[in-house]
Amino acid sequence: MSTDESTDNDEPRHPYETDESFHPMGKEWEDQMREELEETDYDADLGMEMAKDAQRLVAGEISEKEFYQSYHDDVQEEFEVDDRPLFEDLDGVDPSDFDDDQSMFEALKDIDLEADDVSRRDMMKKMGAGAAFLTYGAYATQQNGRSDEVPQLVENLQTKEKNREHRWGMVIDLERCDGCLSCVSGCINENGTSTGANWMYVFAYVNEDTDQANFLVRPCQHCSNAPCEKVCPVRARHTREKDGLVLTNYETCIGCRYCQVACPYGVNYFQWGEPDTDLSELEHLEMRPEKVRSMDFDERKEALQTAAEDGDHIYDERGWWTDSRPPTGVMGKCTMCPSRQDDHTESPQGTVACQDACDEAGMSAIHFGDLEDEDSRPNRYLRKRSENVEENDRHFNDEDVVEGEDPDMWESTTNWGRLSSFKLLEDLNTQPNITYLGNEPGPNDKQVDPAEIREDPEKLDTPVSYEDLTGQDRWGNQVVDNRKEHLDYGPSGPPEEEA
């Protein structure tokens, strides 16, 4: 069976069907389905036809039996099989369950199509294209039956998965951090951020009960379900589809600061006044952003790579101005260094400036990389660390086994062995891409006030204060902890002797 335009006229139309598209999620979605199907070795027309009828099935216009009968032969021919192994390999779906009173769509619904860690592309490979055709039907079922669970932004649903190549994130080992602030300085050096806009912020906090000091290393969490992105009235704050970086388009942001309000972590820093680092120091391309965007991909890549020799890294590969410090009146925050991830700079893809600085300082607490990639640095680090912990456990077990006691009771219960790990404010469903190793701050814990430490260095043994970092980056920018005190000087800045 192949698509035949004329049949459209005779068939009853699905309620969602418009001239443009049969799919409730619209033409764009439909085109994308086709594109994906065409990438497989199977018949895309057949797939589209099946998906379309799946819509009718969902609307109750045809029965499952009819639906199945009409495709039986086609499916057999296409996949050269007798036993319709559509669901081979799929966990939780048994082809033999598949009869009139057991809905296959019900079964398909059980597959977690929106699971973050499985891309649709992978799923298709795993399932075989035939099942993938039906999966589109399942999307339709989902759309109908539980419409509230389908993400509102169709665009997000499709593109995020479709073009996703990486999912950048970090594993930060707080047990290795001693508060040297090298990463903070490294970030300022890379991005030229203004005084007090500490995109990377490291601070000591004490636990009320134990008086034990811990450090928290706090970049932007690059949430997979970022509230800051949802609230932006102009889509300046967005998630880059290719790799999940949450970025701000510095050219469209209107400076309403709603993202800053909605972010639960307080990682945003608005550019209240003139930036400390002049644009002429950051950019040598001498092109308007529109010009950069209008180039084709290769041309742009070349131009940006050339510019990187001058230290430029303000455009990402789309030609969007999202990197380095923001201009006046625009929101900034940790970017996870997109120009590096696009391979425009001398520094390799998969690295960030704060991690480099931390490594250089000999601490290696920050581990940046592709969280989807088993062999990326953060994943390898996690494995290694949990092995070490298990090793210790075993050691401990061997010595301490008591007769009659189940030695397995020491078996780890968390994902990474007994390694204590956490994500910040996970309850809020932001799905952060930073995983911490170490102690999670409790509800009554509080940062040790840096102002107090300055007055009384005995109070806490921190090697460096923010003020000490002044002038250490290549821009010679002033660094402070409490930005408000600095902003209070107004547009003319602090009096000379203090600067």
Partner 1 sequence: MATQNKEPGPDDILRPILNTSKWYYVAFGAASAVVVVFLAAWSYQLENGLIVTNLGDWGSGGGVTWGMYIGAFIWWVGIAHGGIILSAAVRLFGMDKYQPVARMAELLTLGALSMAGMYIVIHTGRPDRLVLSVIPSYPWTVQSSPLAWDITVITLYFVMTATYLGLTLRYDIYRLRDRLPDHFDLLYRFILIGYSEKEDKIIERMVWWLALGIIVMAPLLLHGGVIPWLFSVLPSMPGWSGAIQGPQFLTIALTSAISGVIILSYVCRWAYDWQHVFTDEMFRGLTKWLGLFGLLFVWLQLQQIINGVFAADVAAEQVMVAKLEQPVYIIAMGTMVVVLGYIFAQALDKRVFSLNRSLVASIAVLYATLSEKILFVVEGLQYPQFDLYANVPGTYIPSPVELASLAGTLALCTLFFLVIIKLFPVVELHAVEGHDDGDGGGDGGDEEVTA
d(CA 36, CA 356): 38
- Report the partner that residue 226 touches, choosing among partner 1, ligand SF4, none (CB closer than 5 to 8 A by kind): ligand SF4
In this structure, is the dihedral angle defined by the CA atoms of residues 276, 280, 316 and 289, taken in order, positive or negative? positive
Q: Does 450 bind partner 1 (CB under 8 A)?
A: yes
Q: Provide the residue type at 240 as one letter.
A: R
Q: Which is nearer to partner 1, 133 or 201 (CB)?
A: 201
Please select the residue that binds ligand SF4; options are 154, 256, 285, 460, rule is CB under 6 A: 256
Grouping H, G, I as helix, E, B as strand and the rest as coil, residue 422 is: strand
> Is there binding between residue 430 and ligand SF4 (CB under 6 A)?
yes
Q: Considering the complex, what minimum distance in angstroms separates the CB of residue 198 from ligand SF4? A: 9
Identify the helix (H) or strand (E) that includes residue 139: helix 129-145
- The single-letter DSSP state of residue 497 is G
The answer to the question of residue 292 lying near partner 1 (CB under 8 A) is no
**Shortest distance in whole angstroms from residue 243 CB to ligand SF4:** 13
Q: Which residues contact 413 (CB under 8 A, 6 or more apart)?
A: none
Task: Please name which of 485, 349, 224 lies closest in space to residue 493, comparing C-alpha atoms.
Answer: 485
For the record, the structure tokens of 178 come out as 């001693």
Smallest separation, CB 141 to partner 1 (Å): 22
d(CA 277, CA 287): 19
What x-and-dash track marks residues 103-142 binding ligand SF4 by CB under 6 A?
Answer: ----------------------------------------
Q: Which residues fall within 8 angstroms of residue 291, CB to CB, at 6 or more apart? A: none
Minimal distance, residue 259 CB to partner 1, in Å:
10
Given ligand SF4, partner 1, none, residue 449, with its beta carbon under 5 to 8 Å by kind, binds partner 1
Closest C-alpha to 3, from 28, 37, 29, 41: 37
Does 202 interact with ligand SF4 (rule: CB under 6 A)? no
| Segment 318 to 337, residues that bind partner 1, using CB under 8 A | 328-331
Asked if 279 interacts with partner 1 (CB under 8 A), we say no
Cα distances from 31 to residues 48, 140, 159, 417, in angstroms, run 10, 15, 12, 44
Query: CA torsion, points 454, 456, 459, 461, in degrees to nearest 10?
Result: 50
Among 29, 136, 258, 466, binds ligand SF4 (CB under 6 A): 258
Residue 272 CB, nearest distance to partner 1 (Å)? 4
Q: Least distance in Å: CB of 371 to partner 1?
A: 22
Estimate the crossing angle of helix 129-145 against helix 27-39, to 10 degrees.
160
Query: What does 9 bind: ligand SF4, partner 1, none (CB cut-off 5 to 8 Å by kind)?
Result: none
Q: At what angle do helices 44-58 and 27-39 cross, to 10 degrees?
A: 140
Q: Between vectors from CA 129 to CA 37 and to CA 90, what angle results, nearest 5°?
A: 140
Which residues contribute to the site for partner 1 (CB under 8 A)?
152-153, 155, 196-198, 201, 203, 205, 216, 227, 230-236, 252-258, 260-274, 328-331, 424-425, 428, 441, 443-451, 481-485, 487-488, 490-491
Applying CB under 6 A, the residues found at the interface with ligand SF4 are 186-187, 190-191, 199-200, 219-223, 226-228, 231-232, 234, 236-237, 246, 248, 253-259, 263, 265, 267-268, 331, 333-337, 352-354, 430
